Amino acid sequence: MASNLKSAKDLVVFLGKSVIACLESMVFTIIPKPRKNVAGEIVLITGAGSGLGRLLALRFARLGSVLVFWDINKEGNEDTCRMAREAGATRVYAYTCDCSQREDIYRVAEQVRPFLLPVLEPEYVVDKIVDAILQEKVYLYVPRFISFVMFLKSILPVKVSLLVADYMGALNIMDGFVGKNKKE
Ligand SMILES: NC(=O)c1ccc[n+]([C@@H]2O[C@H](COP(=O)([O-])OP(=O)(O)OC[C@H]3O[C@@H](n4cnc5c(N)ncnc54)[C@H](O)[C@@H]3O)[C@@H](O)[C@H]2O)c1
């Protein structure tokens, strides 16, 4: 009896979901689905050193994404990096990684993780500061994501806030920062 009820319930759920999927498909045939905005989003491309990976990299460069490239071929990866910059990307990070080796993926992921809170471009930060002064803003959070962290801090226990900050790399983000090389 119980198994009959479960089967009937599964059938109703299946039919319900199918009807919704069909309706959704019909609506999106008439009204095109809005395209996702990936400007500023982090896009990680494995095998970025050539072929499909490189072409994807150049597409996302033009869409304004923050790019992370993983490839076993350092030279090819760096070429893609340069091409992505030429195509308009401002934040591009290339890592040499053998994606067939689990340990190598963990190693490189560790390097990428602090990047969740990246060191920002000085021009961007200065623009934000000047805007804030001119608009007489009381607070300025840069990057904007920090305002979310401040919200979390106001509702979470201190220890949990610290754990979140540590996980996001906020506690040691400036450890390796020795200033930027002067442009020629
Ligand atoms: N090109 C096509 O028509 C096509 C169609 C469907 C699927 N694919 C598949 O898509 C993938 C990419 O195809 P492609 O044409 O761009 O090939 P490609 O050889 O031009 O590029 C592959 C890239 O992956 C890198 N790479 C190889 N092994 C790696 C590893 N262990 N760790 C990290 N990087 C590694 C290479 O250095 C290279 O830069 C392949 O798996 C291919 O089978 C290709």
| Mean pLDDT per 10-residue segment, the chain (184 residues) | 83 90 88 86 93 95 93 97 94 93 87 64 82 87 76 79 72 60 52
Considering the domain delimited by 42-116, tell me its CATH architecture: 3-Layer(aba) Sandwich (3.40)
Domain boundaries, the chain: 1-34, 42-116, 122-167
pLDDT confidence of residue 162:
75
Q: Among the atoms of ligand 1, which is closest to the Cα of residue 77?
A: 39
Q: Is 96 in the pocket of ligand 1 (CB under 6 A)?
A: no
Q: Is 49 in the pocket of ligand 1 (CB under 6 A)?
A: yes
Q: Is 100 in the pocket of ligand 1 (CB under 6 A)?
A: yes
Residue whose C-alpha is closest to residue 89's, from 118, 58, 113 = 58
Q: Which residues have CB under 8 Å from 173's CB, separation 6+?
A: 114, 117, 119
Distance, in Å, from the CA atom of 152 to the CA atom of 42, rounded to the nearest integer, reads 22
Q: Is 76 in the pocket of ligand 1 (CB under 6 A)?
A: yes
pLDDT confidence of residue 117:
60
